[in-house]
C-alpha cells in the first residue's frame, strides 16, 4: 500500500462498524424476543444479583478461634465413690477450653488396678476356656484386657472358666450405672467465645455482643430472645439438637454446635452476626452394635508407699461438644459482576439465536425472512464474473446514479 | 425437497455466514468504541489475567498437618512453691505438640484439696448468708465451688457470713500473683512444622527450608531476614501480634499464628512458600468483665497413704497459640480461562451495544444511521404485495441488470 | 413526535430485529467455522458438563466430626519397667478419641525425678565446663534441662565436666531403646467414625456402612475388598502410606488419613461414599537433623508420703494419626449452568471472529468479502450531500420503482 493506503487504513481504524440488522415486522417473534429479553433481565437482576449476590466476591476460608469455658458443680452419692462433688476440673476433658470439649455425665470407675494376673472378664468370647491349653501363654485376648498366662481359671471343676491374664487387675466390670451419675450436668453452662477473621477482606469479629452492659453478659443465656448472648445452657443445647439430655447422659453422644457467619460486608459490620444451629452428630439409631453413644477410657496413675504404680481406670460416658465454625463473606467486586453481566449478555445472544430459529424455520414466511437475513455472496464463480463483466458497462451509469450513496461496490 | 434440494442444503451447511456490518464513518463513535475495546482488553489482560490470575483453576481446600515443639526452662522462687524449675513437661498443655498449644505463664495453685466441707469463697454473692436458712442444703452455689450443706458459717455472731459447702476444700483463693510467675517464658522457642497438601493438584510441601545446613535449622530464629526458618521466639511472636509479652503473661490470651500458602503452581515448587502473620485473637479491651485473657483450671490427682484422693487445683493463665493454616493454589486450567475470555468477549458486545446507543440515539444524524443499521422488511402486508406485483414487471428487467450480483432477491 | 409517532414507536418495540448475515460461499472458511463450532460444543458438553459437572453448584465447606477408638493390648518386658501390659488408657494420647490421636510405640522413661540439683546431661554443649566460672549461676542451659547453679561438676579433677543445674533430677538419659518397645502396636485396630454435613445442601452422612449386619461391623477390617468398613489395622494403615511400621515405631512419625467425600447429590445418597487415602505427613528424609520422626515429653506427677512432688518423665515416640476430612458436593443449579452455557456461546462469537479474520484478511478474495461484509456509510461529508442532492431528483423515480421494497431509504 502506498502513503494514501496507510493513511486510509489508519483513518478507517476509527470508523465505527456496527452490525446491520434486518427489521422483521413480525409481531409474534418480536413479542417472543422481548419476553425472552425480559426473562433474562429478570433472572439477572432478581436471581443472580439480588438473591445470589452475584456482584460480590466471596471468601469462604474463614479463620476461627474458639475459647470455651464451663461453669457448674454436681454432687453425687454412690456406694462406690461415697459423697463426692464434681467441679470443672473433674468433669471437663480436656481442660484447656478448645473448640471440642467433653462433659462427663456417667462413668465406670475401676480403682486400684495394678499390673498383676487375674481372670479375664467373663463376657469376652476369646477368653472362655475349659482347660489350660485353651489359653496359650503370651497370646493377647482379642478385644480383651490383657495377655494370657497359660492358665484356665475355673470356679470348682466346672467345664466353663476364663483364662488368667496378665493385665491391669482387677479388670473393668462390664456394667454401667443405669442412671447417669452426673444428672445435674444439664444445668451447667458453657461460655463460647468465637473470634473469626476473613483473611481476603481483613475483617475480624467475635460472637460476643459488643455491649457495655457487663451484667447482661454475665447473666444472660442464649435463647431465641437473646441471639447474641454467648452463654449456653447444656440441657437446652441438647434439646435444641432434638434430644433429651437424660437419655444422652447415660450412653453419651456428640452434639455439634454450628456457628455460621454469613456476612455481607457491603453493609456495616454490626450486621455481620453469627447464626447458631445444633445437631446430634453421632447417629443414635443406625449402628447400635458397634458403638452407640460416646465414651472413652482414661486412667489416673498413682504410686503407693513402695513406689509401685497403680491406677484408677475410668470409662467416661458423656457428651462431646464440637464447635464448628464456617462462614462466608461477600463484598462487591468488579470481576464477578462483570462475569455475571457478561454471561447474562451472552445469554441475550442465545435468546436471539432461539428467536432466529423460530423466525427463519418455524414461521410461515420463513423463506422470505431467510432471504432477507442472509445476503448471498457468490464470490469466485466464473459464470458470475462473465455475466458481471458483460453487464458492467450497462450497470456503470445506472449504478452510479442510483447506488453510489449506498456504496455497495462489488469490487 | 427434491434430490437437488437436499444436496443444496448439505452444501449450504458449509457456507460461511458472517454478520453484515455497516461502517459508520463517524470518528467520534469510532474512537469511543476503540477506547471501550481497549479498556476491556486492558481490564481482561491486566486485572483478570495478571492480577487475579483468572486463567488458573484454584484449590482452597488445603490439607494441613502441624507439629509444634517447645524448648526452654524457667526458674521460679515463690513463697508458695519454693524454688522450682519448670520444663516443657510442666508448662505445655496439651503435651502432644498439635496445632493448638498453651504455654502456662502464671498460675494460682490450691494444693491439698480434699472432698470435705468448708466455707465458700467470700466473693460469691450467692453464698452470702446471715442465718442457716439462707443456705438450703443440697443447692449448688451459683458460679461457686460446691453444694450448700445448710449451715451458715460466721466469724463471731456477725450478720455476714458465707454458706458452708461440700466441695474440694479448701476452695481456691481469688487472688492471682500480680507479676507473671513464668516471666522467662518470653525466651522459650517453638519449632513449628507445617506440612500441607493441595489435594486437587496433588502438591505437597513443608514450611521447613529444604537445606542441607543442619546447623542453620538448629540455630536460626524466624525474623524478617529469616523468613523460612521454622523456629519462633515466643516473646517476638507476641510483639509481632502487637502486644507485650509481660502484659499478656499475667492475664493470658490467645495468639493466632496464620500460615498462608499462596502458591502459583505454574511456577516451580520452590516458589511456593509460606507467609506468616500474627494476631491477637482474644479481644483485649472489648469485654473486660466476662473473661478477659485466657485461663482454665485443671487438677493433679494424688492418693495419700490411706488411698484417699486429694488434688492440687491449678488455675493456669497463659498464652494459647493457634496455628491456623490456610492456602490457595492456582494452576493453569482451560475452563476458567475460557469463562474469563468468554465473559470478556461478551463484554465487547456490551461495549458495542453502548456505542450503538450513542450512534443511533445521541448523534445528530442518528436517524440516518438508524435507517442504515436497520433494514426494514415489511413481510405479509397486502398492499406491499399488490404494489410489488404491479411493479414487478417493470423492475424485472432493470433489477436483473443492476442488482443481480448483489443477489438482493426479495422472494 | 405526534400521536402517530408514539404509536409507531410502541409498535416498533415489537418488531424483531435480527442481525443481517452475509453468506460467503467459501467452503474452506465454512468448514473451518463448523469445525470450530463443533469443537466448542464438544468442549462444552464433554468437558464442562460431563467431566467437570459445570451444571452443578458445589459446596466445599464441609462440616465434619470424627470419633476414633483404639483397641488392642501389648505386653513388654524390659529391665527398666519389668513385665508390663499396655492397654488403651496407657498408650493413647489424648484419650478422648478425637480426629488426631497418638499411639505410643517407644518411650524413654525417667522415673523419680525431683526438684533438685544434679549434673546436666553430658551431650549439651552449653553445659560443658572446666571451672565454676563457666557456669554462671541462674543462667538457663541453652537447649538443656535446667538453670545453672554456678558449680562445675567434674569426675576427678579432669578439665572436662558439666555444670550443675537446678532441675527435675536426674535428667533424662539421651538414649532410646533401639527396638520399639510396643512392637505389637502394629496389630491394634482403630475404629474411625466420621459424620459429615454439607451445610449448603443440608446433606448429612456417616462413613459407617448402613447395614443391619452387626457382626460384619464388629469383625470387618478395611481393605480393598471392604471399602466401607470403618475399622483399620494400624500396621496396614502405615504400609498403605508407603512405610514400614517397625521403622516408624522406633522414631515416630505422622500418618495422614485423608477421608474424601466427592458427592454428586443429583444421584441417590447411597452413592455418596468416602474415599480413604493414606500418606506420611512428616518428611522422613528431608530434615534428619532438626526433628526426624515425632515425639514429645510428658510427665506423671506423684506425691510421696511427705507430700513432696516427684514425677516420671516420659519421652514418648509414636505415630500420630491425623484424620483429615475434605469434601465437595455438587448439585444441579441453574446459575453455574447459565454461566457455562453463556460463556460457551460467547466463545462461539470468538470462533466467528477468528473465522472472520481468516475470511477477510487471509483469503485470496478477502477484499471482495470485506466489501460485502462492511457496508460503508459516509454520513456528513459535504461533497456527498451535494452530489446526493444533485442526483436525488433523478434517483427519486428509479429508486421508488426498484428499491422501495428493500426500504433502503437514505434519510
Sequence-separated (6 or more) residues with CB below 8 Å from residue C295: C251, C252, C315, C316, C317, C318
- pLDDT number for residue C402: 45
- Taking the C-alpha atoms of residue B211 and residue B218, their distance in angstroms, rounded to an integer, is 12
- Taking the C-alpha atoms of residue A189 and residue A70, their distance in angstroms, rounded to an integer, is 6
- pLDDT number for residue A9: 67
Banded pLDDT at A78 (limits 50, 70, 90)? confident
Q: Please tell me the distance in Å from A9's CA to the nearest CA on chain C.
A: 13
- Taking the C-alpha atoms of residue B309 and residue A89, their distance in angstroms, rounded to an integer, is 14
Judged by a CB distance cut-off of 8 A, whether residue C337 touches chain A is: no
- Residue B295 marked in a binding site: yes
Banded pLDDT at C286 (limits 50, 70, 90)? very low
Most trustworthy range by pLDDT among A35-49, A256-270, B38-52: A256-270
Residues in C closer than 8 angstroms to A346, CB to CB, are 342-343, 345-346, 349
Angle at A69 between CA A65 and CA A75, to 5 degrees: 155
Closest residue in B to C168 (Cα–Cα): B85
- pLDDT number for residue A158: 67
Write the burial class of residue C205 (CB in 10 Å: 0-12 exposed, 13-18 middle, 19+ buried).
buried
Judged by a CB distance cut-off of 8 A, whether residue B75 touches chain C is: yes
Judged by a CB distance cut-off of 8 A, whether residue B126 touches chain C is: no
- pLDDT number for residue C235: 94
Q: What is the pLDDT of residues B145-175, one digit of tens each?
A: 899 999 988 877 767 889 999 999 999 887 7
- pLDDT number for residue A291: 53
Of the candidates B145, B296, B378, the beta carbon closest to that of A25 is on B378
If we measure between CA atoms, which residue out of B249, B233, B321 comes closest to residue B280? Answer: B321
- Secondary element (H or E) of residue A310: strand A309-332
Instruction: Say what percent of chain B tops pLDDT 90.
Output: 28
Residue range C295-307: average pLDDT?
90
Most B CBs within 10 Å, among C327, C375, C399, to test the B interface: C375
- Residue C149 marked in a binding site: no
Of A262-271, B39-48, B288-297, B302-311, give the lowest mean pLDDT range.
B288-297
Other beta carbons within 10 Å of C40: 19
- Residue A407 marked in a binding site: no
Banded pLDDT at B89 (limits 50, 70, 90)? very high
Q: Please tell me the distance in Å from B34's CA to the nearest CA on chain C.
A: 16
If we measure between CA atoms, which residue out of C171, C35, C286, A410 comes closest to residue B209? Answer: C286
Closest residue in B to C61 (Cα–Cα): B61
- Is C233 a residue whose pLDDT tops 90? yes
**Which DSSP string do the residues of A347-379 spell out, in sequence order?**
HHHHHHHHHHHIIIIISTTHHHHHHHHEEEE-T
Average pLDDT of chain A is 81
Judged by a CB distance cut-off of 8 A, whether residue B347 touches chain A is: yes
- pLDDT number for residue C89: 93
Most A CBs within 10 Å, among C8, C9, C16, to test the A interface: C16
Q: Please tell me the distance in Å from B372's CA to the nearest CA on chain A.
A: 8
Q: Please tell me the distance in Å from A102's CA to the nearest CA on chain C.
A: 8
Average pLDDT of chain C is 81
Verify whether the Cβ–Cβ distance C19 to A17 is below 8 Å: no
Mark which residues 290-319 of B lie under 8 Å from A by CB.
290-291, 294, 296-299, 301-303, 305, 307, 311, 313
- pLDDT number for residue B378: 52
- Taking the C-alpha atoms of residue A294 and residue A282, their distance in angstroms, rounded to an integer, is 8
Compare A352 and C400 and report the one with higher pLDDT. Answer: A352
Sequence-ordered alpha helix ranges (H) in C176-301? 214-219, 234-240, 245-251, 288-291
Residue range C46-64: average pLDDT?
85
Verify whether the Cβ–Cβ distance C347 to B341 is below 8 Å: yes
Residue range A95-111: average pLDDT?
91
- B331 contacts B265 by C-beta, under 8 angstroms: yes
- pLDDT number for residue A3: 57
Compare B379 and C66 and report the one with higher pLDDT. Answer: C66
Sequence-separated (6 or more) residues with CB below 8 Å from residue A167: A115, A116, A117, A118, A120, A145, A146, A147, C73, C85, C87
- pLDDT number for residue B410: 37
- Is A329 a residue whose pLDDT tops 90? yes
- Is A386 a residue whose pLDDT tops 70? no
- Is B381 a residue whose pLDDT tops 70? no
- Residue C296 marked in a binding site: yes
Verify whether the Cβ–Cβ distance C376 to A407 is below 8 Å: yes
Q: What is the pLDDT of residues C347-398, one digit of tens each?
A: 777 788 788 888 888 877 777 877 777 776 654 443 333 333 444 444 444 4
Most A CBs within 10 Å, among B284, B289, B381, to test the A interface: B289
Residues in B closer than 8 angstroms to A349, CB to CB, are 346, 349
Judged by a CB distance cut-off of 8 A, whether residue C41 touches chain B is: no
- pLDDT number for residue A88: 92
- Taking the C-alpha atoms of residue A358 and residue A380, their distance in angstroms, rounded to an integer, is 32
Verify whether the Cβ–Cβ distance B21 to A19 is below 8 Å: yes
Most trustworthy range by pLDDT among A379-383, B130-134, B264-268, C25-29: B264-268
- pLDDT number for residue C400: 45
Verify whether the Cβ–Cβ distance A282 to C217 is below 8 Å: no
- Is B291 a residue whose pLDDT tops 70? no
Banded pLDDT at B117 (limits 50, 70, 90)? very high
- pLDDT number for residue B398: 44
Judged by a CB distance cut-off of 8 A, whether residue A115 touches chain C is: yes
Q: What is the pLDDT of residues A105-159, one digit of tens each?
A: 998 999 899 999 999 988 888 888 888 888 999 888 888 889 999 998 887 776 7
Cα–Cα distances (Å) from C317 to A92, A260, C26, in that order, read 27, 39, 77
Banded pLDDT at C405 (limits 50, 70, 90)? very low
Judged by a CB distance cut-off of 8 A, whether residue A19 touches chain C is: yes
Compare C195 and B217 and report the one with higher pLDDT. Answer: C195
Of A363-377, B62-76, B368-382, give the lowest mean pLDDT range.
B368-382
- Is B208 a residue whose pLDDT tops 50? yes
- Taking the C-alpha atoms of residue B338 and residue B344, their distance in angstroms, rounded to an integer, is 9
- pLDDT number for residue A400: 45
Instruction: Say what percent of chain C tops pLDDT 70.
Output: 86
Compare C405 and C225 and report the one with higher pLDDT. Answer: C225
Mark which residues 203-262 of A lie under 8 Å from B by CB.
204, 206, 208, 210, 214, 217-218
Verify whether the Cβ–Cβ distance A69 to B33 is below 8 Å: no
Of the candidates C21, C65, C341, the beta carbon closest to that of A281 is on C65
Verify whether the Cβ–Cβ distance A300 to B297 is below 8 Å: no
- pLDDT number for residue B401: 44
Of the candidates C75, C372, C398, the beta carbon closest to that of A147 is on C75
Verify whether the Cβ–Cβ distance A355 to C16 is below 8 Å: yes
Compare B233 and C54 and report the one with higher pLDDT. Answer: B233
Closest residue in A to C381 (Cα–Cα): A405
- pLDDT number for residue A60: 80
Q: Please tell me the distance in Å from A129's CA to the nearest CA on chain B.
A: 35
Instruction: Give me C112's grid cell.
Output: 523419680
Write the burial class of residue A37 (CB in 10 Å: 0-12 exposed, 13-18 middle, 19+ buried).
middle
Q: Please tell me the distance in Å from B345's CA to the nearest CA on chain C.
A: 6
Q: Is the peptide bond before B342 cis (omega within 30 degrees of 0)?
A: no
- pLDDT number for residue A138: 87
Q: Please tell me the distance in Å from A73's CA to the nearest CA on chain B.
A: 6
Closest residue in C to A141 (Cα–Cα): C73
- Residue C70 marked in a binding site: yes
- pLDDT number for residue C54: 86
- b/e map of B211-232 (b: 16 or more CB within 10 Å)? eeeeeebeebebeeeeeebbbb
- B372 contacts A407 by C-beta, under 8 angstroms: no
- C166 contacts C114 by C-beta, under 8 angstroms: no
Residue range C58-70: average pLDDT?
86
Instruction: Give the position of cell 455418596.
Output: C272
Most trustworthy range by pLDDT among A64-68, B4-8, C45-49, C235-239: C235-239
Instruction: Say what percent of chain B tops pLDDT 70.
Output: 85
- Is B411 a residue whose pLDDT tops 50? no
Complex-level ipTM? 0.77
Mark which residues 50-69 of A lie under 8 Å from B by CB.
60-61, 63-65, 67, 69
Of the candidates A22, A97, A343, the beta carbon closest to that of B346 is on A343
Judged by a CB distance cut-off of 8 A, whether residue B357 touches chain C is: no
Banded pLDDT at A161 (limits 50, 70, 90)? confident
Residues in C closer than 8 angstroms to A20, CB to CB, are 19-20, 375
- pLDDT number for residue A265: 93
Residues in B closer than 8 angstroms to C30, CB to CB, are 13-16
Q: Please tell me the distance in Å from B140's CA to the nearest CA on chain C.
A: 28
Verify whether the Cβ–Cβ distance A193 to B359 is below 8 Å: no
Verify whether the Cβ–Cβ distance B87 to C167 is below 8 Å: yes
Closest residue in B to C343 (Cα–Cα): B342
- pLDDT number for residue A352: 81
Angle at A99 between CA A97 and CA A101, to 5 degrees: 60
Banded pLDDT at A296 (limits 50, 70, 90)? very high
Q: Please tell me the distance in Å from C213's CA to the nearest CA on chain B.
A: 34
- pLDDT number for residue B4: 55
**Which DSSP string do the residues of C7-76 spell out, in sequence order?**
HHHHHHTTSEEEE-EEEE--HHHHHHHHHHHHHHHHIIIIIIIIIS-TTEEEE---EEEEEEEEE--EEE
Of the candidates A54, A147, A260, the beta carbon closest to that of C199 is on A260
Of the candidates C147, C282, C313, the beta carbon closest to that of B195 is on C282
Sequence-separated (6 or more) residues with CB below 8 Å from residue C18: A21, A22, A24, A352, A355, A356, A359, A369, A373
Amino acid at each position: 500500500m502506498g502513503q494514501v493506503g496507510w493513511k486510509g487504513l489508519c483513518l478507517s481504524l476509527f470508523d465505527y462498524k456496527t452490525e446491520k440488522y434486518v427489521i422483521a415486522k413480525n409481531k409474534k417473534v418480536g413479542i417472543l424476543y422481548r419476553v425472552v429479553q425480559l426473562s433474562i433481565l429478570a433472572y439477572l437482576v432478581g436471581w443472580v444479583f439480588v438473591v445470589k449476590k452475584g456482584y460480590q466476591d466471596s471468601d469462604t476460608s474463614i479463620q476461627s478461634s474458639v475459647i470455651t469455658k464451663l461453669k457448674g458443680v454436681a454432687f453425687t452419692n454412690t456406694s462406690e465413690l461415697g459423697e463426692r462433688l464434681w467441679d470443672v476440673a473433674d468433669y471437663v476433658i480436656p481442660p484447656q477450653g478448645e473448640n471440642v470439649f467433653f462433659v462427663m455425665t456417667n462413668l465406670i470407675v475401676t480403682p486400684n488396678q495394678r499390673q498383676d494376673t487375674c481372670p479375664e472378664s467373663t463376657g469376652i468370647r476369646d477368653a472362655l476356656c475349659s482347660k489350660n491349653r485353651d489359653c496359650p501363654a503370651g497370646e493377647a485376648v482379642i478385644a480383651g484386657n490383657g495377655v494370657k498366662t497359660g492358665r484356665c481359671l475355673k470356679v470348682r471343676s466346672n467345664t466353663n472358666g476364663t483364662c488368667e491374664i496378665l493385665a491391669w487387675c482387677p479388670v473393668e466390670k462390664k456394667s454401667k450405672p443405669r442412671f447417669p451419675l452426673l444428672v445435674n450436668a444439664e444445668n451447667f453452662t458453657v461460655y463460647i467465645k468465637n473470634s473469626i477473621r476473613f483473611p481476603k477482606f481483613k475483617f475480624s469479629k467475635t460472637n460476643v455482643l459488643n455491649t457495655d452492659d457487663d451484667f447482661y453478659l454475665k447473666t444472660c443465656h442464649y435463647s431465641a430472645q437473646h441471639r447474641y448472648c454467648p452463654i449456653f445452657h447444656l440441657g437446652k443445647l441438647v434439646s435444641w439438637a432434638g434430644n433429651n439430655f437424660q437419655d444422652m447422659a447415660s450412653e453419651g453422644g456428640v452434639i455439634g454446635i454450628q456457628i455460621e457467619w454469613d456476612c455481607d460486608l457491603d453493609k456495616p459490620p454490626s450486621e455481620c452476626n453469627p447464626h447458631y444451629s445444633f445437631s446430634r452428630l453421632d447417629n443414635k439409631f443406625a449402628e447400635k452394635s458397634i458403638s452407640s453413644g460416646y465414651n472413652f477410657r482414661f486412667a489416673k496413675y498413682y504410686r503407693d508407699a513402695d513406689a509401685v504404680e497403680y491406677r484408677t481406670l475410668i470409662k467416661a460416658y458423656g457428651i462431646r461438644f464440637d464447635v464448628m465454625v464456617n462462614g462466608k463473606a461477600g463484598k462487591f467486586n468488579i470481576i464477578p459482576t462483570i462475569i455475571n453481566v457478561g454471561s447474562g449478555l451472552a445469554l441475550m445472544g442465545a435468546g436471539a439465536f432461539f428467536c432466529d430459529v423460530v423466525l427463519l424455520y418455524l414461521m410461515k414466511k420463513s423463506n422470505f425472512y431467510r432471504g432477507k437475513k442472509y445476503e448471498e455472496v457468490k464470490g469466485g464463480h466464473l459464470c458470475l464474473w462473465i455475466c458481471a463483466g458483460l453487464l458492467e458497462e450497462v450497470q456503470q451509469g445506472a449504478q452510479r446514479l442510483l447506488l453510489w450513496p449506498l456504496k455497495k461496490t462489488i469490487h
